[in-house]
């Protein structure tokens, strides 16, 4: 599997990006402000993520998604680890990531990759998304913020 930055003349894989975030408007904002990376295997895109500079020395990992066919095989872990390495190479001091209170698998993945929970943005999803989101039988209301020193 090769992970590379998407070139400006390439079309972002919207279907995959929308797996991580149901809002086209929010995804398009991330693409405008951040760098989109794709992971390719056997000639097709299997995963995507975006690195978004937020504050001086801090970058946020957003829109991590692995195609449904390739989930549960370690691709997500490889992508998150590659994003951490890239952020280090770019000279950032901190990498952050956020996920929903109901995203139990994602919370496991990020903590296994070294992130620690640093805060909760109460009602983030209720405020920013029109449709109700439910995962694992849990209403997704709050954003769990995680961070890692590089």
Spatial distance between the Cα atoms of 8 and 25, rounded to a whole number of angstroms = 19
Out of 27, 36, 52, 75, name the contact with ligand COA by CB under 6 A: 75
Spatial distance between the Cα atoms of 112 and 26, rounded to a whole number of angstroms = 27
Torsion of CA 105, 110, 113, 119, to 10 degrees: -140
- What is the helix, strand, coil percentage profile of the chain, to 5? 35, 35, 30
Q: SS3 for 49?
A: strand
- The site string for ligand COA over 20-49 (x = CB under 6 A, - otherwise) reads x-----------------------------
Q: Which residues from 83-102 bind ligand COA, rule CB under 6 A?
A: 99
Out of 15, 105, 116, 128, name the contact with ligand COA by CB under 6 A: 105
Query: Is residue 76 a contact residue for ligand COA (CB under 6 A)?
Result: yes
**Cβ 9 to ligand COA shortest distance, Å:** 26
Instruction: Give contact residues for ligand COA (rule: CB under 6 A).
Output: 19-20, 64-66, 71-77, 99, 103-106, 108-109, 112
């Amino acid at each position: 599997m090769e992970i590379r930055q998407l070139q400006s003349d390439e079309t972002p894989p919207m279907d995959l990006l929308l797996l991580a975030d149901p809002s086209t408007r929010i995804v398009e904002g991330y693409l405008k402000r951040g760098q989109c990376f794709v992971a390719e295997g056997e000639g097709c895109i299997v995963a995507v993520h975006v690195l978004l500079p937020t504050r001086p020395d801090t970058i946020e990992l957003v829109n991590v998604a692995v195609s449904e066919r390739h989930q549960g095989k370690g691709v997500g872990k490889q992508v998150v680890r590659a994003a951490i390495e890239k952020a280090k190479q770019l000279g950032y001091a901190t990498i952050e990531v956020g996920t929903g209170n109901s995203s139990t698998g994602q919370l496991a993945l990020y903590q296994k990759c070294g992130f620690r929970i640093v805060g909760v943005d109460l009602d983030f999803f209720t405020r920013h998304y029109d449709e109700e989101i439910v995962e694992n039988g849990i209403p997704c209301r709050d954003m769990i913020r995680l961070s890692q020193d590089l």
